[in-house]
Amino acid sequence: MVIIPAVDILGSKCVRLTMGDYGLKKEYELSPLEAALNWQKLGAKRLHLVDLDGAKSGNPDNFDVIRDIIKSVKIPVEVGGGIRDNKTIESYLDVGASYIVLGSILFKDIDSVSSSLLKYKGKIIAGIDLYDEKIAVSGWKEFIDIPLIEAISRLSGNYGIETFIFTDIKKDGMLSGVNLGLISGLAKLNISLIASGGVSALDDIIKLKELNLSNLKGVIVGKALYDGRLDLEKANALLS
- Per this entry, what is the length of the chain? 240
Residues 38, 52: Cα–Cα separation, whole Å: 21
**Annotated catalytic residue within 129, 168, 172, 204:** 129
Classify residue 152 as exposed, middle or buried by CB count within 10 Å of its CB (0-12, 13-18, 19+): buried
Distance between CA 106 and CA 109 in Å, rounded?
6
**Which residue in the list 8, 53, 61, 204 is annotated as catalytic?**
8
> 4 by DSSP, 3-state: which?
strand
Quote the CA–CA distance of 101 and 125 in Å, as a whole number: 5
Report the distance separating Cα 232 and Cα 5, nearest Å. 9
How far is 238 from 81, CA to CA, in rounded Å? 31
Is-catalytic flag, 129? Answer: yes
Three-state SS string across 127-172, please?
A: EEEEECCEEEECCCCEECCCCHHHHHHHHHHHHCCCEEEEEEHHHC
Helix, strand or coil for residue 198?
A: coil
Residue 135: CA count within 13 A, CB half-sphere? 22
**Catalytic annotation, residues:** 8, 129
